Structure 1
Amino acid sequence: HQKPASGYAAALLGIAQSNGSIDPVEKDVQRLLKLLRNKQVQAVLTDPLVGEKQKGLVMIDEVANYKGMFHKHLVSLVKMLVRKNKASLIEEVLEEFERIYDELSGTKVVLVSSAKKMKEDQLSKIAMSVQSLTGAVKVKVRNLVHENSLSYAV
């Protein structure tokens, strides 16, 4: 049983592959995910008093504010999902796109949990260590911050 997000993500991946724009689309997916995870945007998107249509308009506004900065296929997908009243799926679709892209490109994803946000150089060192240990071509390190937990060095 496939999730709707998987279908939309696979469609975006397919069109990007057929146009030879997979890497630029993937970079834009990362940027849009980061934008959607902004505290102010999240406050609107998770507010139960804000309707699905308004949430969709917020997403379109966010994409429009960066006009020309997001790939046209990604913008089309966001607009289509909003038109279909599926704005709540956008973040899940983007995450699924990332998962499929990582799988296809042989990218290893490492989750690092810490009590506070780690610095880029720390994350880079972890990525290089994982790369040398596993032989992976590409490694992405995601820092999961749990502010109330203890942090241990390994």
Structure 2
Amino acid sequence: MQNPRLASRYAKSLVDLSSEKGQLEAVHTDMQFLQQLSKTNPDVVALLRSPIIKPDKKQQILAAIFDGKVSAITAAFVKLLVVKGREGNLPEIAQEFSRQYDVLKNISKVKITTAVPLDAAILDVIKTKVQAGTDKKVTLETAVNPDLIGGFVLESNNNLFDASVLRDLNDIKKQFAENIYVHNIR
């Protein structure tokens, strides 16, 4: 994140305004759309951060992209960012908005990474187990990484639980590299 303080302040302002207007859910949906757009389309991020493209041209392009896809509050917010010269921070602001929304709504995000895709029944069991330890609502995000070989990696609230075969193999490799028993033979 380039400027976390700036992203936090703008996101907080947007959370407060959208809550006051009763459109928090709509703006949250818009921010998820903006996050997805910035992840999947690097040209939009390049447009936002380009010092060569004039602000009025950026405003026209962004208005064409967001036309009918975002709420009026989000459109006005993006326009304000362009006027203030902060449009390059829009992906970070959208991410920070989602984080503040989760705190406000008491939602905990959990990411589980496995070697193969999991079916819905297993995901429901995992979600139930994770939610049993907390009073927060849990949203589960899944990822697949074949390098894990087996097991899983669970990330939640800046905690990491690595129960993968890859981690076990790396631990064994490290133990053999240290070879703590060699000095006892002599």
TM-score, shorter chain, exceeding 0.5: yes
C-alpha deviation, 1:42, in angstroms = 1.4
Question: CA–CA distance in 1 between the matches of 2:122 and 2:30?
Answer: 21
For structure 1, which segment, 99-108 or 29-38, has the greater mean C-alpha deviation from structure 2 after superposition? 29-38
Query: Aligned residue for 1:13?
Result: 15
TM-score by length of 2: 0.62
Question: Residue 37 of structure 2 is aligned with which of 31, 35, 38?
Answer: 35
Alignment root-mean-square deviation, CA: 3.4
Alignment of 1:67-146 (within 5 A): 67-114=67-114, 118=117, 121=120, 124-125=123-124, 126-136=126-136, 138-143=137-142
Aligned partners of 2:113 and 2:142 also within 8 Å: yes
**SS of alignment partner, residue 14 of structure 1:** helix
Question: CA–CA distance in 1 between the matches of 2:63 and 2:118?
Answer: 28
C-alpha deviation, 1:82, in angstroms = 2.1
**SS of alignment partner, residue 37 of structure 1:** helix
The aligned length equals 146
Mark the structure with the bigger radius of gyration: 2
Structure 1 stretches (4+) deviating beyond 4 angstroms?
Answer: 55-60
For structure 1, which segment, 125-134 or 6-15, has the greater mean C-alpha deviation from structure 2 after superposition? 125-134
Query: Aligned residue for 2:183?
Result: none
C-alpha deviation, 1:7, in angstroms = 0.8
Sort the Cα spacing of 1:124 and 1:67 in 2 relative to 1 into closer, same or farther, 3 A.
farther
How high is the sequence identity, in percent, across the aligned residues?
Answer: 25
TM-score by length of 1: 0.73
Question: CA–CA distance in 2 between the matches of 1:33 and 1:120?
Answer: 26
Alignment of 1:48-67 (within 5 A): 51-52=50-51, 54=53, 61=61, 64-67=64-67
Higher relative contact order (CA 8 A, sep 6+): 1
C-alpha deviation, 1:76, in angstroms = 1.5
